[in-house]
Amino acid sequence: MTTEKREIFEMHGASWYDNSLDYKVVIYETNYETHVAKITLNRPEKMNALSHQLRAELFHALKVAEKDNDINVIILKGAGRCFSAGYDLGGGNVGVDEPDFGSQYVGVSHWPRYLINQYWQIWELSKVVMAQTHGYVLAGGLHLMTFCDLLVTTPDCQFGKPPVRAMGIDIMPFPWLVPKRKAAEMAFTGDSISGEEAYRLGMANYCVPEEDIDEFTETFANRVALLPWQMLTTYKRSLNKAYEIMGIRTAMETTALLVAMGAQEVDHKKKMAELLRTRPLREYLSARDGPYKDYRAKEQAILDRVKREGEEWKGVSEEHRPKS
């Protein structure tokens, strides 16, 4: 942050924004010529798993950008192999308090309602947030991406929520991202879709090769940022209000309540929770995802066989095909 920016923040009683340079697991950058800020999730060794610290720093950085009147658009991306592989299940939250996002909803409904409270902050943010994704966008990474305003991805990026196979759905984003049938498949199986399919289904604005995504996303953000944030926020609120009228808030918050009510009643969830507590993470993930991968491989083999058999008939005239 420049000396001039510090003086502006302090003049408005916001000296706490000086801490934006002290982040440990996010990188905050600004380009005041193009009016674009960039926030990079920076736990590449953990595939940007959303630890308490990472979420705390991320939402602090978002608020820093929101308070900066010279920023119109925020790019959100991940360092290393992926955007984010989800919430940190590997012990990275031990000894670290959950960041405060308003009401903590203490009790059985804590986690799903807490998450919803967290992500509505991006929904309400006065600045346009553009997600740039590659690699994996799973579980919490999918939640984070869902609440962004725009999305640029790569063809082989993977979007999904595999924890539904063991933990339930704390946020139900699928109906707002893809058509009903695909939403049902993703919810029932925990399967992912590729960036190419996400673009085809209208979930992503653009799908570009990974080697070009940085340049493309910055160019796209620069184009959106030609309008001042005061105008963009009016458009953003108008769009979001339309989805609120269609029920997005009610639907997601109802999901959070339903998950809380059923959290203690499903033997499978109890068994998988015990496995997560007592076994290495790799073993838990193998038990959770292995059978689904096996059946998916069998499905693909059938589809490949049908395609091969169909290819054999190309170029064969009707009169030379055997009669049934």
Query: Is 110 exposed, middle or buried (CB count within 10 Å of its CB: 0-12, 13-18, 19+)?
Result: middle
Per-residue pLDDT, 208: 98
> Mean pLDDT per 10-residue run, the chain (324 residues)?
49 45 91 98 96 94 96 98 90 66 66 83 96 97 97 97 83 93 94 96 97 97 97 97 95 81 68 82 85 87 84 64 56
Amino acid letter, residue 141? G
Strands across the sheet containing 73-78: 26-31, 36-41, 73-78, 128-132, 150-153, 206-207
Helix, strand, coil shares, percent, the chain, to 5: 55, 10, 35
Per-residue pLDDT, 11: 44
Per-residue pLDDT, 306: 84
Beta-strand relationship, 36-41 and 26-31 = antiparallel
Residues 6+ apart with CB under 8 A from 192: 138, 158, 159, 160, 162, 186
DSSP 117-140: HHHHHHHH-SSEEEEE--SEEETH
Per-residue pLDDT, 316: 60
Q: Where are the beta strands (DSSP E) in the chain?
A: 26-31, 36-41, 73-78, 128-132, 136-138, 150-153, 158-160, 193-194, 206-207
Q: What predicted TM-score, i.e. pTM, was given to this entire model? A: 0.83
Q: How far apart are CA 33 and CA 235, in angstroms?
A: 23
Q: 3-class SS at 227? A: coil
Q: Tell me how far apart the terminal alpha carbons of the chain are, to the nearest angstrom.
A: 76
Per-residue pLDDT, 282: 86
Q: What angle do CA 221, 227, 228 make, to 5 degrees?
A: 105
Amino acid letter, residue 131? A
Closest Cα partner for 257 from 116, 63, 79? 116
**Residue 319 in tokens:** 């009169």
Closest Cα partner for 175 from 162, 186, 165, 191? 186
